Amino acid sequence: MIRGSRRLGFAESTFRVFGFSVGSLLWSTRMLFLALLSAVPVLIALVARVAEARGTPLPLAGGEPLAGTGLFGTMVWAAYVRFIVPVFGVFLGTGLIADEVEDRTITYLFTRPIPRGSVLVGKYLAYLVCTTSVVLPSLMLTYFALVPLSAVATSFPQLMLDFAIVVIGLATYGALFGLVGVVVRRSIVAGLVFVFGWEPLVLLLPGYLKRASVAFYVQSLVPHSVPRSEVTFLPQLVVREVMAPGSAVLWLCVILAACLALAIRAVGRRDYVLDQ
């Protein structure tokens, strides 16, 4: 707990908020549910591995069995980039401030002698640590369950790239939904509509509208390591038009920085009047 009346600097208060937020976020019911969700790809990978070892590979891609690095690439694309990463962002990112408001504990935080923005930043850093410590081991276990050891030497650099894509995806979605959680009342509903309504829709539309999504930039980083064909079993996930990876990373960083800055500004200016 933060004690004393001395006003702390931004970095120090951020660190303190981060310290107690990690534990509360990590052991929350929501995180437990999401951790179970991130275990699903590991289970699928294990089942696929056993099925393949028995000579009956799972028909996962348009009826075509996939194995090894091919199946792993498809799972990174379909399970992690298009589902787990945005879902973590929606459920945990929107709750950074909104949960404190809902639990009526926001006033306790804001009466402390700390900058309001540091509460958001500390909680955002806790979100990053918690989500990466759940999603990355899941991705790692899926990789080693699917890819034979003999193919690890050649495919391991791709896994490191997938790690980077997942981390930047979690960071960007977290910042975006952190802002949504600050400015929108029903933030989870808005987040789910954005992730499962708006983004799939604009990705299928021609033109520049797809640039108004995070998925477009994240998926622009992915096609170098996963299938892009018509036989993929979830064709709505396929993005025909992609951006150069360098530009995509730049845009993701811009979205992240802009959303965080706007969220800090909004938290600093907003008056939180709690319902009795």
Partner 1 sequence: MTKSTRLFLWLAGGVLVLGVAMGLVASYSGSSVRAGAGAKGPSELGFIPVGARLVAFADVREWMQSEFQQSWLGQQSGQQDADEVLGQLGVDPETDIDSVLVSAGGIPSGSGLGDLLVLVRGRFDETRIEHVVRERGGRPSEYQGRRLVQYIGPRQQETAVAFMEPGLLGLGSIGAVRQAIDMAEGGEALTANDEVMTLVGGALGGHAWAVGRFGALAGQVGLPQDTAGQFSSLGWFSASGRVTDALEGAIRVEAEDEEGAANLRDVVQGFVALAKLQAGASPGVPEIVNSLQLTTQGTTVSLSFAVPSSAASLLGSLASSSTPVPPIGSSGVRPTPPPH
| Residues of the shown chain interacting with partner 1 in the complex, contacts defined by CB under 8 A | 19-20, 22-23, 26-27, 61-62, 64-70, 73-74, 129, 133-134, 136-137, 140-141, 143-144, 147-160, 224-225, 227-232
Residue number with CB closer to partner 1 (134 or 255): 134
* Shortest distance, position 172 Cβ to partner 1, whole Å: 21
Nearer to partner 1, 214 or 239 (CB): 239
Q: Provide the minimum distance between the beta carbon of 169 and partner 1 in the complex, in angstroms, as a whole number.
A: 17
Q: Judged by CB, which is closer to partner 1: 26, or 40? A: 26
Residue 242: CB minimum distance to partner 1, A: 11
**Closest distance of CB 136 from partner 1, Å:** 6
Shortest distance in whole angstroms from residue 247 CB to partner 1: 17
Smallest separation, CB 60 to partner 1 (Å): 10
Q: Which one, 162 or 199, has the nearer CB to partner 1?
A: 162
Instruction: Outline where the chain has alpha helix (H).
Output: 10-26, 29-53, 68-75, 85-88, 95-102, 106-110, 116-146, 152-183, 187-193, 199-204, 215-221, 245-269
Closer residue to partner 1 (CB): 40 or 141: 141
In terms of DSSP bridges, do strands 64-65 and 59-61 run parallel, antiparallel, or are they unpaired?
antiparallel
User: DSSP of 111-122, one letter per residue?
Assistant: TSSS-HHHHHHH
CA-CA distances (angstroms) from residue 127 to 2, 37, 151, 211, 250? 20, 17, 33, 25, 22
Distance CA(167)–CA(36), nearest Å, equals 19
With tokens 């931004």, the residue in question is 10
47 vs 152, beta carbon nearer partner 1: 152
Distance, in Å, from the CA atom of 37 to the CA atom of 169, rounded to the nearest integer, reads: 17
Q: Which two tokens mark 36? A: 């179970």
Separation of CA 137 from chain center: 14
CA 2 vs CA 19, 255, 260: distances in Å? 11, 32, 24
Question: How many CB atoms within 10 Å of residue 126?
Answer: 22
Is the CB of 50 or the CB of 261 nearer to partner 1? Answer: 50
Distance between CA atoms of residues 117 and 24, nearest Å: 19
Least distance to partner 1, CB of residue 102, Å: 22
